């Protein structure tokens, strides 16, 4: 197991290095000169050259890469090129709790919906309930998350006025204010995720329920409850957990979009604003952190899978 | 020597066609999907005839509710919402289909080459594909738009490159299986060139899973374009696309709910239809793959 963990860990670090390198060089291909754009109203060619020298942009690409990389390793991702030049690490440090709060709450909401939905539709296969669940799952998968967000705002914020339409309150300032601000975006993000998980639980459960050992368990006279929670569900969850890794990625990309609807300044909002403003250091930093979340959540899911299903470790 | 494709002895392709029709007869969801999609395609093609107004024509009739003159109301600049959505259909369907065509061409070629030649070619191609595989398609598309900039062509390139890994993986795994088949040996023995063996003899026999992937990818591409446009990273602002119409209307949804409802409804109906069709094809062509 230790060798397997080590191998996967090294693999993940290599992926991060490749991403960092690709991001650095590809962003240098961007047409247009952000420094010239930034100083368009206030400075001539000398000011532009001076600013470039100050930011190290007059040196060769490889030197810039080396400097940026060694700084990044020490946790220095540069500073926003606008305004008071806030350090990127600070911007991201403020954004991470928002995005993580949002993703975790979406995850919880999605599982709370998906688990019973999947179990009910598997045990009542081909009934009206099963068809209804399957249709709702299709709807959930087909609805753009940002549109669902808008619909939720129209209903619960604008008309019923039960919940706020924008903003974020840190958890430290109270659980209810935090939840009230996050519940609508979390539903918007979690819906597609819960549809995927519900469908997966259903098909995985159906496969397990028709297996020989389930027949044996039934013939031993176990109650339906013991059959479901003692035997069927634990086995059916193995494939579901692999899909959760992929689906977790879906939560983060959902957050990237939905944060923009609810004006929550999480990683997604930081990334998109950075792109729209051509703020290189911010875009670079946001991409790195978002990527790191994917790579390491994939790693955790893989390791978890190795714990649940020992056959995986051999490969 | 004719150009006919060499296939396994029990060639199933004629059977496949009749199986598609038989399963369609019993699949209400797929029928719904095909009809709705056909209606949207017609609406897109005939948008200039169907739309009563120029989609960008501003009037003083701002945020007017639903009426005979404006069946879906108007936006904050007095533009007719129905006309904008009709024109948006063109853009969405065009982007959906063209991105998948491009992704399919690049991805399938990469996968075929990697699987057929193996060795270091396979290693290099698949290392990259695996790297991209670690990230959600939409995030890859956002990263690429960050690099290329916005605009119709850039959006198409960004979304299609984001899908390349899906097609490459399927084509490679199919090629690895088919490479060992006797009819491929036969093609080799007959001295056919490698491209001919790959594209004329292996590809047609690997087509079922690729069709299914392409179908669902069209729906992801439409969602992806709508999301990019919604975020301001899509095609330019003078082109009415569904995502952009929603973004424009977002600030006014409290006064004019229709601006927040109808463009999204169009996206959902098209995506839902394609998902229904994809599900039908997956069953009918007997393709087993991951849920997403």
Q: What is the structure's pLDDT at A270?
A: 93
What are the beta bridge partners of residue A79?
A: A87
Q: What is the structure's pLDDT at B41?
A: 93
How many contacts does A have with B, using Cβ atoms within 8 A?
126
Summarised one tens digit per residue, pLDDT across range A200-253 is 888 888 888 887 878 888 788 788 777 788 778 877 887 787 777 777 778 888
Summarised one tens digit per residue, pLDDT across range B72-125 is 888 778 788 888 999 999 999 999 999 999 999 999 999 989 988 888 999 999
Q: Which of A144, A254, A297 to mutate to test the interface with B (most CBs of B within 10 A)?
A: A144
Q: Which of A14-18, B8-12, B227-231 has the lowest mean pLDDT?
A: B8-12
CB distance A100 to A186 below 8 Å: no
Higher local confidence (pLDDT), B237 or B32: B32
- Could you say which of 3.30.70.3270, 2.60.90.10, 3.40.50.2300, 1.10.3720.10 is the CATH number of the domain covering B27-45+80-285? 1.10.3720.10
Q: Which of A52-61, A101-110, A306-315 has the lowest mean pLDDT?
A: A306-315
Q: What is the structure's pLDDT at B290?
A: 39
Give the gap in angstroms from C-alpha B152 to the nearest C-alpha of chain A: 16
* Chain centroid offset of residue A209 CA: 32
* Chain B residue numbers touching A147 (CB-CB < 8 A): 246, 260, 263-264, 267-268
Mean pLDDT, rounded, of chain A: 82
Residue B72 is encoded by which pair of tokens?
């879906």
What are the beta bridge partners of residue B80?
A: B74
* Chain centroid offset of residue B37 CA: 13
B67 falls in which pLDDT band (50, 70, 90)? confident
* Cross-chain CB nearest to B267 (options A144, A243, A252): A144
Torsion of CA A199, A202, A203, A209, to 10 degrees: 170
A144 in B contact zone (CB under 8 Å):
yes
* Cross-chain CB nearest to B246 (options A26, A147, A275): A147
Confidence (pTM): 0.86
Give the gap in angstroms from C-alpha B177 to the nearest C-alpha of chain A: 20
Nearest chain A residue (CA) to B254 = A158
Summarised one tens digit per residue, pLDDT across range A57-106 is 777 778 888 888 888 888 788 878 777 788 888 999 999 999 988 998 99
Give the gap in angstroms from C-alpha A147 to the nearest C-alpha of chain B: 6
Q: Is A154 in Cβ contact with B233 (below 8 Å)?
A: no
Q: What is the structure's pLDDT at B218?
A: 94
Residues 225 to 244 of A: which have CB under 8 A from any B CB?
243
Say how far apart CA B192 and CA A14 lie, in whole Å.
Answer: 40
A247 in B contact zone (CB under 8 Å):
yes
Say how far apart CA A41 and CA A39 lie, in whole Å.
Answer: 6
pLDDT at A155 over 50: yes
Summarised one tens digit per residue, pLDDT across range A252-304 is 888 989 999 988 899 999 999 998 888 888 988 898 888 888 888 888 877 87
Give the gap in angstroms from C-alpha A223 to the nearest C-alpha of chain B: 31
Spatial CA neighbour of B285 closest among B22, B52, B97, B84:
B22
Q: Is A147 in Cβ contact with B292 (below 8 Å)?
A: no
Say how far apart CA B181 and CA A224 lie, in whole Å.
Answer: 47
Q: What is the structure's pLDDT at B219?
A: 93
Q: What is the mean pLDDT of residues B234-256?
A: 86
* Cross-chain CB nearest to B260 (options A141, A151, A250): A151
Task: Give, as one character, the DSSP assignment of residue A159.
Answer: I
A138 in B contact zone (CB under 8 Å):
yes
Higher local confidence (pLDDT), B245 or B71: B245
| Ranges of H-type helices in A34-78 | 34-38, 45-55, 61-73
Domain boundaries, chain A: 32-76, 89-308
Q: What is the mean pLDDT of residues A164-175?
A: 80
Q: Which of B231, B247, B252, B267 to mutate to test the interface with A (most CBs of A within 10 A)?
A: B231
Q: Is A23 in Cβ contact with B257 (below 8 Å)?
A: no
Q: Is B291 in Cβ contact with A294 (below 8 Å)?
A: no
Say how far apart CA A43 and CA A65 lie, in whole Å.
Answer: 27
A200 in B contact zone (CB under 8 Å):
yes
> Is the backbone of residue B286 left (phi > 0), alpha (psi -120 to 50) or beta?
left
Q: Is B292 in Cβ contact with A287 (below 8 Å)?
A: no
Domain boundaries, chain B: 27-45+80-285
Homologous superfamily in CATH for domain A89-308: MetI-like (1.10.3720.10)
Q: Is B226 in Cβ contact with A271 (below 8 Å)?
A: no
* Chain B residue numbers touching A261 (CB-CB < 8 A): 250
Q: Is A147 in Cβ contact with B139 (below 8 Å)?
A: no
Among A268-272, B149-153, B190-194, name the most confident range. Answer: A268-272
| Residue A209: CB atoms within 10 Å | 19
Say how far apart CA B53 and CA B82 lie, in whole Å.
Answer: 9
B3 falls in which pLDDT band (50, 70, 90)? low
Say how far apart CA B53 and CA B240 lie, in whole Å.
Answer: 13
């Amino acid at each position: 197991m230790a060798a397997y963990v080590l191998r996967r860990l090294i693999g993940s670090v290599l992926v991060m290095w490749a991403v960092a390198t690709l991001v650095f060089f590809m962003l240098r291909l961007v047409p247009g000169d952000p420094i010239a754009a930034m100083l368009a109203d206030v400075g001539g060619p000398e000011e532009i050259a001076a600013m470039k020298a100050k930011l190290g942009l007059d040196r060769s690409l490889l030197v810039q890469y080396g400097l940026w990389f060694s700084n990044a390793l020490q946790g220095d991702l540069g500073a926003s090129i606008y305004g008071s030049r806030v350090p990127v690490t600070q911007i991201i440090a403020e954004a991470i709790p928002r995005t993580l709060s949002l993703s975790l709450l979406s995850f919880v909401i999605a599982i709370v919906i998906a688990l019973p939905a999947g179990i009910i539709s598997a045990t009542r296969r081909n009934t009206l309930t099963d068809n209804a669940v399957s249709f709702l799952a299709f709807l959930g998968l087909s609805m753009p998350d940002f549109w669902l967000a808008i619909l939720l705002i129209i209903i619960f914020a604008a008309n019923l006025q039960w919940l706020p339409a924008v903003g974020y309150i840190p958890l430290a300032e109270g659980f209810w204010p935090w939840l009230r601000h996050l519940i609508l975006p979390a539903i918007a993000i979690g819906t597609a995720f819960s549809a995927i998980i519900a469908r997966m639980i259903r098909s995985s459960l159906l496969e397990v329920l028709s297996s020989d050992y389930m027949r044996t368990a039934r013939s031993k006279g176990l109650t339906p409850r013991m059959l479901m929670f003692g035997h069927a569900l634990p086995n059916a969850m193995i494939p579901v957990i692999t899909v959760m890794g992929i689906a977790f990625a879906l939560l983060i990309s959902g957050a990237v979009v939905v944060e923009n609807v609810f004006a929550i300044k999480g990683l997604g909002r930081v990334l998109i604003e950075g792109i729209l403003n051509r703020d290189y250091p911010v875009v670079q930093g946001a991409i790195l952190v978002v990527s790191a979340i994917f790579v390491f959540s994939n790693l955790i899911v893989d390791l978890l899978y190795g714990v649940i299903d020992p056959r995986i470790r051999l490969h | 020597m004719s150009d006919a494709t060499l296939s396994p002895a029990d060639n199933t392709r004629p059977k496949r066609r009749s199986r598609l029709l038989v399963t369609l007869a019993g699949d209400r969801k797929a029928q719904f999907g095909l009809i709705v999609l056909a209606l949207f395609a017609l609406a897109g093609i005939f948008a200039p005839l169907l739309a009563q107004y120029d989609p960008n024509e501003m009037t003083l009739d701002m945020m007017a509710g639903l009426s005979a003159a404006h069946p879906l109301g108007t936006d904050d600049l007095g533009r007719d919402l129905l006309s904008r959505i009709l024109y948006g259909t063109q853009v969405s369907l065009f982007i959906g289909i063209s991105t998948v065509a491009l992704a399919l061409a690049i991805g399938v070629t990469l996968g075929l080459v990697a699987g057929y030649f193996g060795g270091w070619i396979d290693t290099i191609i698949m290392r990259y594909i695996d790297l991209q595989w670690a990230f959600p398609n939409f995030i890859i598309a956002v990263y690429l738009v960050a690099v290329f900039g916005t605009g119709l062509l850039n959006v198409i390139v960004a979304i299609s490159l984001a899908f390349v890994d899906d097609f490459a993986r399927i084509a490679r795994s199919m090629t690895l299986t088919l490479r060992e088949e006797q009819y491929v040996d036969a093609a080799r023995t007959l001295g056919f060139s490698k491209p001919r063996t790959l594209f004329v003899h292996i590809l047609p026999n690997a087509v079922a899973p690729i069709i299914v992937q392409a179908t669902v990818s069209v729906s992801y591409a439409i969602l992806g374009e709508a999301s990019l446009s919604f975020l301001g990273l899509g095609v330019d602002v003078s082109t009415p696309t569904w995502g952009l119409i929603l973004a424009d209307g977002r600030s006014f949804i409290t006064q004019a709910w229709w601006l927040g409802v109808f463009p999204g409804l169009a996206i959902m109906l098209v995506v839902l239809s394609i998902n229904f069709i994809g599900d039908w094809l997956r069953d009918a062509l007997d393709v087993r793959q991951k849920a997403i």
